[in-house]
Amino acid sequence: MKFFENVRPGRSATYNEVTFDLPILYFRDDFFGLYYSCSYKKVKEIMPSANLHPLMLPNGRAIIVIAAYNYRDTTIGPYGEIPIAIPCVLNKKKSRLTSIYPLLKESNYPGFGVLVHHLPVTKVEARDAGRGEWGYTKFIADIIFQITPEYFACNMSDSGKRILDIHVPRKGFRIRDNKPLTTFSVKDNRLIQTTIKQTGIKHISLNTKGACVKFGNHTVADSVIDLDISTKPFMSFYYTERSAILPAGKIVEKDVRPFEGHIGHTRKATHKTFYTEADV
């Protein structure tokens, strides 16, 4: 069966002034990111549901991933996106999961997903679709990418105020990745679980020399720093090719706490890509 087979016709959805077809199809993108440790206690406190349990490293700390998507060809047009997310497991019984096995298995592990803490995007249509359909914590930001033969990088700001910079060298072992990506978000006090089908070539490295995130002076940056994020990442990844299918989510729990994230302002944002080193 072909990857994009039987995805059309889909369901039409409208939020504010944007109308789009579900599922949203992602044909080509650049995707890279870093894994950090952070305070388990502080992460657990922001969970919208008591049934969402952050993964715990052997040192007793939780995990946070900061990544970047440079969507070059999609059914809602090109745009940039920076997910800041917390790997966790939805389970009514587990109080703590002291194994990183679910992180390795990802969505092949029962209940695994990532809670989307922040999800800045460069396009109003992507923000309205994401908040309206899934409750994703999207807001408008300016994102400039650098995609070179040596590294992936991006700079993110909000109306001239720097949020963060991320730099990921191209290194690591290569795998074929056909595992879906599962996200958790909150819409109308309901916990939404969305399983995103994907396929691509992924590179993973535990040697994170040269990889980093640098934070600016912005409320979103402050909220991540407040989770006691580690100074260095423990793992990096990037994809040399990737395609994905984003469907509607499903309600897995009702009457959870609100999780709206930073709202920001409606405006036209900057989305640029450089393929050589540039002073950004």
Please indicate, yes or no, if residue 21 is contained in any of the structural domains.
no
Please indicate, yes or no, if residue 2 is contained in any of the structural domains.
no
Q: Report the C-alpha gap between 90 and 111 in whole angstroms.
A: 5
Please indicate, yes or no, if residue 6 is contained in any of the structural domains.
no
Please indicate, yes or no, if residue 279 is contained in any of the structural domains.
no
User: Which structure tokens are listed for 74?
Assistant: 């999609």
Q: Report the C-alpha gap between 154 and 11 in whole angstroms.
A: 33
Q: What is the mean pLDDT of each run of 10 residues along the chain (280 residues)?
A: 93 96 98 98 97 93 97 98 97 69 81 97 98 98 97 96 98 96 98 98 97 98 98 97 98 98 97 87
CATH number of the domain encompassing residue 166: 2.40.400.10
Q: Is 233 helix (H, G, I), strand (E, B) or coil?
A: coil
The parent domain of residue 35 ranges over: 30-274
Check residue 262 and give its pLDDT: 97
Please indicate, yes or no, if residue 14 is contained in any of the structural domains.
no
Please indicate, yes or no, if residue 190 is contained in any of the structural domains.
yes
Check residue 101 and give its pLDDT: 75
User: Which structure tokens are listed for 12?
Assistant: 């039409």
Alpha-carbon torsion (275, 143, 71, 235), positive or negative = positive
Please indicate, yes or no, if residue 169 is contained in any of the structural domains.
yes
Give the bridge partners for 245, in sequence order.
25, 197
Please indicate, yes or no, if residue 120 is contained in any of the structural domains.
yes
Check residue 105 and give its pLDDT: 78
Check residue 97 and give its pLDDT: 64
**Integer Rg of the chain from CA:** 18
Rounded alpha-carbon distances, angstroms, from residue 185 to 46, 67, 137, 250, 258 = 12, 17, 8, 10, 10
- In total, how many domains does the chain have? 1
Evaluate whether 97 touches 58 at the Cβ level (below 8 Å): no
